[in-house]
Amino acid sequence: MIQNKKELIKIYLNINLLKQFLFFFFFLIIIHHWFFAYFRSILFRILSNFYNEFKFSDCFMHNLNMESKIKFKKFVTLCLVFTFLENICSFTSDNVNVKISRLMYRLGDNVEIDSTSFPHINFKKKTGLNFDDILNEKFHFDMNAHDVMVFLHIQKTGGTSFGRHLVQDLDLQRPCTCQRKHKRCYCFRPNRNENWLFSRYSTGWKCGLHADWTELTNCVNSELDKNEGEPVKRRYFYITLLRNPISRFLSEFKHVQRGATWKNSRHWCGGRVATKDELPKCYSGLTWKNVSLDEFLNCSHNLAINRQTRMMSDLSLIGCYNKSYMVPTLRNKIILASAKYNLASMAFFALTEYQKIGQYVFEEIFNLRFAVPFAQYNSTRSGAYIAKLRPEQLEKIRKVNELDLELYEFAKSLMFKRFERLRSRDSNFKTRWQHLGELSVQAEFNWDEEIEPESPGNRFNT
Ligand SMILES: *[C@@H]1O[C@H](CO)[C@@H](O)[C@H](O)[C@H]1NC(C)=O
Ligand SMILES: *[C@@H]1O[C@H](CO)[C@@H](O)[C@H](O)[C@H]1NC(C)=O
Ligand SMILES: *[C@@H]1O[C@H](CO)[C@@H](O)[C@H](O)[C@H]1NC(C)=O
Ligand SMILES: *[C@@H]1O[C@H](CO)[C@@H](O)[C@H](O)[C@H]1NC(C)=O
């Protein structure tokens, strides 16, 4: 052992090339990651067996000569020893919190996603620019450049009204032009005919009906390339709405009871659409019309359950819709963490229950103004409906939608944090808040509107 140590030091001193140093550095990082993850115990064993039997050698070292083999072996050992020592040191000298925080994903807004339970999962940042990026002043949404707003519209969250606000109520240099008949608007950049908004009313359901995070992040770019005829490097600003999970679930139930199915949703993930076996239908026949709430709740693979968490998460992390890929408890943990991560990585999100805050935050982030105040969704009706439920029904709704409830709480506290940050830096806040949705009187005079008298056809008013 001691003899080896001396040799190791010698070899260490021999490492003088930058290349080797870099290799060593990255190797250390990788090993370190492993070490902390689920390889901790295995590495101990490898380390102790290392000198006697170098079992990996057959796999990838057969074409090295003996000397290099030994060198390589020692090199790897050194890395392991370093990693080992570093971990021992940090374990003994620091408190456990420090340890854990290193395993958390740090996001903007000081949001941390605890990943201790699944360290081998690698959350990827694919959601474009986040709130912090934008607040740092470096990344203003630039309509003349290649910035695209992508609206992730989850069913029954109030996304239809919000989507309409986007296409018809923003005070833009070049307003969207809408065709009432087709329920479609052209939202083009001021300087060229290119979409800056990816949403149902502008581009249509190009990535599938109510496309989720997994579908959008894998599809928007290529769809826009196709649309514009050439690949362009764009910056994405994802936006979405979340709603109280109990109200949302009941609202979806009512919608299904009236005959909605969203059966044209693709559920695309991992390079293919989900199969019928992976997503069995809860009903026979064409729709689930007249379904009772008990039946609706009784179907364990009902997509309404935890819909917000599922649609916000990176489903490729859990083997998509293949339920035998991992056990349900782990699956749930991962999609919840992933949904939180993706939500916090978005440029903007709002909660249906806080329309005014949503409007203010949107206007501040994108430096755009709406010409109307957002109406607060009247919760009296759904409140009355909830009051009529049997206690065990309400309890069951809560229980099955546990993930959505936790995601919503997370979203709520994050939203208030962001709102506070924007408010504290806005010297004009009081006036802005009082007059939200009123464009200032000095707004540019719109000649087009003067020539064409106001007609119901100018805006769809459904
Ligand atoms: C749903 O209920 C209505 C009225 O109760 C009835 O007329 C209709 O046939 C039912 N539809 C289905 C698909 O069962
Ligand atoms: C719920 O499902 C179980 C079996 O999966 C069935 O026995 C029961 O009758 C169902 N209850 C309702 C209210 O549909
Ligand atoms: C689902 O996952 C299991 C376990 O990983 C695998 O054996 C199976 O082939 C997968 N099914 C499909 C349809 O990919
Ligand atoms: C909400 O609806 C109820 C009944 O439909 C009505 O009495 C109440 O004034 C409404 N509230 C708001 C804020 O619109």
Please give the torsion angle defined by the CA atoms of residues 286, 403, 350 and 139, in that order, rounded to the nearest 10 degrees: -110
Tell me, in angstroms, the distance from the centre of ligand 1 to residue 290's CA: 6
Residue 328 has pLDDT above 70, yes or no: yes
Calculate how far, in angstroms, residue 328's C-alpha sits from the geometric centre of ligand 3: 15
Q: How many other CB atoms are there within 10 angstroms of residue 5's CB atom?
A: 10
Q: Beta 272-273 vs 268-269: how paired, if at all?
A: antiparallel
| Residue 432 pLDDT greater than 90, yes or no | yes
pLDDT of residue 377: 72
Q: What number does the ligand 4 atom closest to the CA of 378 have?
A: 1
Taking residues 314-334, report their average pLDDT.
91
Q: How many CA atoms lie within 13 A of 106 on its CB side?
A: 5
Confidence of residue 103 (pLDDT cuts 50, 70, 90): very low
* Contact yes or no for 196/227 (Cβ under 8 A): no
The count of other CB atoms within 10 Å of the CB of residue 172 is 17
Place of tokens 């995070």: 213
Tell me the CA end-to-end span of the chain in Å, nearest whole number.
Answer: 81
Q: Residue 151 — very low, low, confident or very high, per pLDDT cuts 50/70/90?
A: very high
Q: Give me 429's structure tokens.
A: 């806040």
CA of 301 relative to ligand 3 center, distance in Å: 18
Tell me whether residue 306 is exposed, middle or buried, using C-beta atoms within 10 angstroms of its C-beta: 0 to 12, 13 to 18, 19 or more.
buried
3-state secondary structure 416-448: HHHHHHHHHCCCCHHHHHHCCCCCCCCCCCCHH
Q: Tell the residue nearest (CA) to atom 13 of ligand 4.
A: 378
- Distance between Cα 317 and ligand 3 center (Å): 14
Q: Is the CB of 287 under 6 A from ligand 3?
A: no
Q: Is 384 in the pocket of ligand 4 (CB under 6 A)?
A: no
For the question of residue 210 being annotated catalytic, the response is: yes
Q: Is the pLDDT of residue 32 over 60?
A: yes
Q: Is the CB of 380 under 6 A from ligand 4?
A: yes
**In this structure, which residue's CA is closest to atom 4 in ligand 2?**
298
pLDDT at position 97: 27
pLDDT confidence tier of residue 52, bands split at 50, 70 and 90: very low
What H or E segment, with its residue span, contains residue 33?
helix 18-36
- The 3-state DSSP class for residue 370 equals strand
Taking CA atoms only, the protein residue closest to ligand 2 atom 3 is 298
pLDDT of residue 102: 33
Provide the percentage of residues in the chain whose pLDDT is more than 70.
73
**For the segment 240-279, what is each residue's pLDDT rounded down to a tens digit?**
999 999 999 999 999 999 999 999 999 999 999 999 999 9
Q: Give the distance (Å) from ligand 3 centre to CA of residue 325.
A: 6
The answer, yes or no, to whether residue 354 has pLDDT greater than 70, is yes
Mutation pick for ligand 1 pocket among 254, 256, 289 (CB with most ligand atoms within 8 Å): 289
What average pLDDT is seen over the chain?
81
**Residue in 33, 140, 153, 210 annotated catalytic:** 210
pLDDT in tens, 181-231: 778 899 999 999 999 999 999 999 999 999 999 999 999 999 999 998 888
Q: In which element (H, E) is residue 135 found?
A: helix 131-135
Higher-confidence residue of 158 and 36: namely 158
Cα of 377 to ligand 4 centre, how many Å?
A: 10
pLDDT at 116: 52
Domains (range + CATH), the chain: 2-93 (no CATH), 131-451 (3.40.50)
- pLDDT attached to residue 94: 29
Residue of 143 and 89 predicted with greater confidence: 143
- In short, whether 258's Cβ falls inside 6 Å of ligand 1 is no
State the average pLDDT over residues 6-22. Answer: 66
Q: Per-residue pLDDT for 155 more than 60? A: yes
- Token readout for 349 is 């999100």
Judged against a pLDDT cut of 60, whether residue 6 lies above it is answered with yes
pLDDT tens digit sequence for 298-313: 999 999 999 999 999 9
Lowest model confidence (mean pLDDT) among 64-78, 259-273, 361-375 = 64-78
Is the CB of residue 301 below 6 angstroms from any atom belonging to ligand 2?
no
Rounded average pLDDT over 81-89: 61
Query: Which pLDDT score, from 0 to 100, does residue 34 have?
Result: 62
104 Rama sector, left if φ>0, alpha if ψ -120 to 50, beta otherwise: beta
Q: Could you tell me if the CB of 324 is within 6 A of ligand 3?
A: yes
Cα 380 to middle of ligand 4, angstroms: 6
Question: Torsion angle, CA of 403/404/409/415, rounded to 10 degrees?
Answer: 130
The response to whether residue 295 sits with its C-beta less than 6 Å from ligand 2 reads yes
Amino acid 128: pLDDT: 80
CA 218, chain centre distance (Å): 12
Query: Among the atoms of ligand 1, which is closest to the Cα of residue 290?
Result: 1
**What average pLDDT score do residues 343-368 get?**
94
Residues whose CB is less than 8 angstroms from the CB of residue 410 and which lie 6 or more positions away in sequence, other chains included: 340, 343
Q: Is any atom of ligand 4 closer than 6 Å to the C-beta of 378?
A: yes
Among 25-29, 41-45, 95-99, the minimum mean pLDDT is found in 95-99
Residues 6 or more apart in contact with residue 151 via CB below 8 angstroms: 159, 162, 163, 166, 197, 198, 199, 200, 239, 240
- 330 and 392 Cβ atoms separated by less than 8 Å: no
Tell how far the Cα of 160 is from the centroid of ligand 4, in angstroms: 20
The residue whose C-alpha atom lies closest to atom 10 belonging to ligand 2 is 298
In the predicted structure, residue 98 carries a pLDDT above the cut 70: no
Query: What pLDDT score was predicted for residue 80?
Result: 72
What is the C-alpha separation between 105 and 339, in angstroms, rounded? Answer: 13
Residue of 278, 325, 331 to mutate, ligand 3, most atoms within 8 A of C-beta: 325
Report whether pLDDT(419) > 50.
Answer: yes
With the most atoms of ligand 1 within 8 angstroms of its CB, the residue from 290, 291, 295 to mutate is: 290
Model confidence at 135, pLDDT cuts 50, 70, 90, reads confident
95: pLDDT strictly greater than 50: no
CB burial of residue 368 (10 Å; 0-12, 13-18, 19+):
middle
